[in-house]
Structure 1
């Protein structure tokens, strides 16, 4: 399967993407972006934005409470606005609590959810959920891929942990083909488990 995936180029305006290889956050984000690129462009899976959309909805409601408090206090200065301010402040913190619970227990570390559509369009989609972990000041990047079969709803998971040094050259350029091969290997191992069962 890995040999049949499309070739991709990682570029912005036909220039290779370069990052500061000593910045752990930039390294993790660029690897996450590369995973997204491989899953959506190489395998032609459809990205599901539901997790991010829900987070944005919670944040938007929180901002509405803050804006309401600001405008109402401007139009009706304190102490006249005391009751509205109290309701908005309490509501804002309730929404922030909901956001924290949502990101901790629902979104978790999922940065990508993609759907593998059934070619005939009859069976439910197979779902690929992808997480990544990289500790601060550490060069070890962990990629976790979960595969949920659309028909049986059986979940399988596989992961790898490697030093980011194998995917970047000394100038901070991502070696996309090397990284893509590792992702494809993980992807194909989950599909081969399905065939073995």
Structure 2
């Protein structure tokens, strides 16, 4: 076994370790379940992850930080009060872009944690798109996983969701039981895929 094979095997062993979290931490519960659903969609179904939503957020943040850096550099070479008009423009631009970012995350991302592409095997038609989002309110045990399918050709969408208690997927030690969670994700995906074919 070569060095690369050994590294790959070690990495797989690390990833296959069961996820253990503090079962009273709502954010940790949600993240563990989100990661489990992501793993099922990417590893079991073979979809490819798209980072377009995250790239949009990073683009907005980069421009905002660019304005802040420009203000800093301008003020260094042209000390206050000479730099006052430039500082005002840069500060206002930064806060405007933070508003744009808030609108983007609220109305565009909508809590989506995974965009997976079902590639057309022939490479002719556009990719089908699967979007996964979830909700787990603080001090609540009900986890809702929503899945949205967008057909690459017709642009029609179908969606579905499941709501279950997190206690169904974690044992008393806070370990995620992927063997109980994976069938739920698969069933939801299959239901939406079957509706799509019909």
User: TM-score, normalised to structure 2's length?
Assistant: 0.89
Q: CA RMSD in A?
A: 1.8
SS at match of 2:79: coil
Match of 2:139 among 133, 137, 140: 137
Gaps of 5+ in 2: 1-11
- Cross-structure match for 2:195: 193
Gaps of 5+ in 1: 1-9
Q: Identify, as 1 or 2, the structure richer in helix.
A: 2
Q: Distance in 2 between matches of 1:184 and 1:14?
A: 19
User: Could you list the per-position Cα deviations for residues 131-158 of structure 1 after superposition, in whole angstroms to 9, with x for gaps in the alignment?
Assistant: 1111111111100101112222221111
Asked whether the 8 Å contact 1:51–1:107 carries over to 2, the reply is yes
- Cross-structure match for 1:52: 54
Asked whether the 8 Å contact 1:32–1:111 carries over to 2, the reply is yes
| Comparing 108-117 and 10-19, the one that deviates more | 10-19
Alignment of 1:89-100 (within 5 A): 89-100=91-102
Corresponding pairs, count: 188
Q: Distance in 1 between matches of 2:186 and 2:74?
A: 54
- Describe the shift of the 1:94–1:164 C-alpha distance in structure 2 as closer, same or farther (beyond 3 A): same
Q: Distance in 2 between matches of 1:151 and 1:14?
A: 36
Question: Is residue 20 of structure 1 aligned with residue 22 of structure 2?
Answer: yes
- Describe the shift of the 1:104–1:14 C-alpha distance in structure 2 as closer, same or farther (beyond 3 A): closer
User: TM-score, normalised to structure 1's length?
Assistant: 0.89
Q: Displacement of 1:161 after TM fit?
A: 0.5
